[in-house]
Amino acid sequence: MNPGDLPARASVVVIGGGVIGASIAYHLAHEGWTDVVLLERDRLTSGTTWHAAGLMTCFGSTSETNTGIRLYSRDLYARLEEETGQATGFKPVGLIEAAADADRLEEYRRVAAFQRHLGLEVHEISPREMSELFPWAVTDDLLAGFHVPGDGRVNPVDLTAALAKGARQRGVRIVEGVAVEEVTTRQAGQVSEVTGVRTTAGDIECEYVVNATGMWARELAAASGLVVPNQAAEHYYLITDTIDGMDPDAPIFEDPASHGYYREEGGGMMVGLFEPRAAAWRVEGIPGDFSFGTLPPDWDRMAPFLETAMARVPVTLEVGLRTFFCGPESFTPDLAPAVGEAPGIRGYFVAAGMNSVGVLSAGGLGRVVAHWIVGGRPDVDVTGFDVRRFAAYQADDDYRAARTTEILGTVYAAHTPGKQLHTARDALLSPVHERLVAAGGLMREVSGWEGADWFAGPGVAPEATPTWGVAPWFERWREEHRVVREGVGLMDMSFMAKYAVEGPDAGRVLDHLSAGAVDGPAETITYTQWLDDDGRITADLTVTKLAAERFLVVASDTAAGAVLDQLRRGIGAAEATVRDVTAELAQLNVQGPRSRELLGELTPADLSTEAWPFRTARRIEVAGVEVLCARITYLGELGYELYVAAEDALAVYDAVLAAGSAAGVAPVGLKALASLRMEKGYRDFGHDIDNTDCPLEVGLGFAVAWDTEFRGKAALSARREANAARGGMTQRLVQLRLVDPEPLLYHAEVVYRSGEPVGYVRAASYGWAVGSSVALAFVSAGSGLVTADWLADGSWEVDVAGVRHAAEVSLRPFYDPTSARVRA
């Protein structure tokens, strides 16, 4: 279609003609939505798709969503030519992933076990077998390889053309040579909604836009007040001259430890690089006329990395070079895509920040986004790449420039537990940050905040080497765990998201958003979930009613943006306001069986259970400072959360430590938080529960107030009735404990019942009080029912890096199953 034929309106405008935009348009058409216009400022693929390496590989992820997206993409690319008549260049030549060290071998064995469970064919092979399949590589110093026969390569330009042709065949209009200058909106309550796009060829009215503009996504989003902090970086590959005997059907070979991937290209070999230290490109903004462009290579910077990569395949050093290519690819600060409906603007979707995996993700991601637009909700777990997770500070030029130099290198880094990012740190600091550091806290990034993982002790510099096994600092972790179970711990959780919701309609709005009854008596804390229209969880949080028209909503740091967005959308035109008070209020948690005793020395308030029952919140004085004191716990003991004005936080923190010497008080870090909550089976949205989950199946039915009217109630009630009719549920979230105290669980370990795989671990930690690793696992009985009898009748095992270990499972927590300690 010519620019002069631009339609006046459409239902959806997809902005960007790369492989992502083309896939979304294609899948919208397959969903039956053909009133779609795709706009490309120049020509299809002209941004970064045209120079992509074309890898179509599935191996390497412990995310069910990411694995599913890649498997779907691979299947689609194999059949797309038959549907459209346009070749994609897909060749299932196979993949070999090399494990060069013990950490990578452990990681890949865990990944392989998980991805086999999800349907990926993958085999561990020896160095000799690697050499037989890819004889050009030196393999005698490698430990093992992982062979995926069904993976392969695809031509990115042909693939995009096939997706575009398939979209056109179903009625989608694709217009090249038209740039979008602005997304237009109108106000609708506390949010706005899309009305159209303004382009270089005129306006188009629409209800939905999709920002699929790749490395331009940040700037287009910023024009609408949105944060999409992807940043372009230099990406390199070379192509050698012809190599005698080079097989065009040779598998792709990847050796992340050598920074390289290798595949046949035009009779020679492509050697692609993901170097440990990268270079950001055009931090100030990407030129609008940059099309099919390349960047001048920095030979001096790249030479050491290139030499390492080429040494793995020595023949590349012996022949000439046909091409040494440098082009831009965009990366996000956490190496996860930016996807979903943007905060505060109804109908504005984002699909960007692909982190060099755009081609292999495009098919599945296009399906996910299209389904989300048409159905109103995603049908996969999107908590890991929800665009609402970003914060304003991440759009800062200096932040993006610093983080991008490191984040590209993590594409090929080993994912050993304990690894951290070190650039662009100290963005957000707790009011008691200096005390955490002085106590020897090992600081780690928590959604931009600095939190203490564990404490080495005053004046001691914490040291921690990433490992899959037991580390020396585990003794510190175990002691902090014991302190909370036996005495009292002081934990800084100021990073938690906090929102003040006020006004005449505040209670009504929150009651409708919450599956629990939150608009009851004042000074009451309600643990609740927010649901979508299908009765699936969109948030897991507490709502505290402070007074008739005043509430405090507290959610996890990772859900901050999503919760704020849901609040604003939920308020609409009601008489209520929401204010982010996260930075204004420190959160100091005093937890443990002696916490009442300790606080009793600092306040005249009566903290007895009779006067102050569980889930009560009141304003009191602690050490002469007014605080909001909430009797609640996420650690499974008697405990209190103190919400303190930021300027008073140090005084309260110091007073608690000073007064608690007799009770054995000690600062406690986030590793203990993880192990304590896991022993008790407390849920964590985005880790062990997500947006695909029904509250009933994950053990949260107790938090539902069936006598109130809340969003998603109809769907949830129908599900409850169906469960009653069949006598139970076919799948459940269960607690799991290994019998052997030695193996460590982390995430994504496959769970077996009587020899058959029935699910996998969603989150885990070490249970110091129960003596072994503990986890929350989601299991399915197939056509049967997950009941206490079904659990008891099976023999249970967990696959840890290819070795099965005996386990116990339960519908109730292993630690304090009746919560008697919490209510003491």
661 pLDDT higher than 90 = no
- Report pLDDT digits (tens) over 177-233: 999 999 999 999 899 999 999 999 999 999 999 999 999 999 999 999 999 999 999
Phi/psi class of residue 812: alpha, beta or left (left: φ > 0; alpha: ψ in -120 to 50)? beta
Q: What is the per-residue pLDDT for 662?
A: 77
pTM: 0.97
277 pLDDT higher than 80 = yes
Average pLDDT over residues 109-129: 98
Average pLDDT over residues 247-270: 97
Average pLDDT over residues 304-323: 96
DSSP 428: B
35 pLDDT higher than 80 = yes
Distance CA 774, CA 737 (A): 4
Q: What is the per-residue pLDDT for 3?
A: 67
299 pLDDT higher than 70 = yes
For residues 737, 738, 740, 744, the Cα torsion angle rounded to the nearest 10 degrees is -110
111 pLDDT higher than 70 = yes
In 681-782, which residue ranges form alpha helices assigned H by DSSP? 713-726
Residue type, 136: W
Task: Supply angle C-alpha 436, 439, 444, rounded to 5.
Answer: 45
Strand 268-273: give its sheet, edge to edge: 123-125, 144-148, 95-99, 252-255, 260-265, 268-273, 231-240, 321-331
Is 485 within 8 Å of 594 (Cβ atoms)? no
Alpha carbon distances (Å) from 795 to 11, 617, 758, 776: 53, 44, 12, 17
What are the DSSP E strand ranges found in 494-648?
497-502, 524-531, 537-547, 550-555, 577-580, 585-591, 617-622, 625-630, 639-645
- Report pLDDT digits (tens) over 457-499: 999 999 999 999 999 999 999 999 999 999 999 999 999 999 9
- Report pLDDT digits (tens) over 598-615: 999 999 999 999 999 999
Distance CA 786, CA 768 (A): 28
- Report pLDDT digits (tens) over 509-523: 999 999 999 999 999
4 pLDDT higher than 80 = no
Compute the mean pLDDT over every residue in the chain, rounded to the nearest whole number.
Answer: 97
793 pLDDT higher than 70 = yes
Average pLDDT over residues 256-264: 98
Is 497 within 8 Å of 556 (Cβ atoms)? yes
Find, among 50, 47, 19, 38, the residue nearest to 290 by Cα.
47
Q: What is the per-residue pLDDT for 660?
A: 77
For residues 529, 531, 534, 535, the Cα torsion angle rounded to the nearest 10 degrees is 20
Q: What is the per-residue pLDDT for 604?
A: 96
In terms of DSSP bridges, do strands 617-622 and 497-502 run parallel, antiparallel, or are they unpaired? unpaired
Q: What is the per-residue pLDDT for 611?
A: 97
- Report pLDDT digits (tens) over 363-413: 999 999 999 999 999 999 999 999 999 999 999 999 999 999 999 999 999
Average pLDDT over residues 26-40: 98
729 pLDDT higher than 90 = yes
Average pLDDT over residues 105-118: 98
Distance CA 685, CA 538 (A): 8
Is 643 within 8 Å of 552 (Cβ atoms)? yes
Alpha carbon 677 to its chain's center: 20
pLDDT over 90, % of the chain: 99
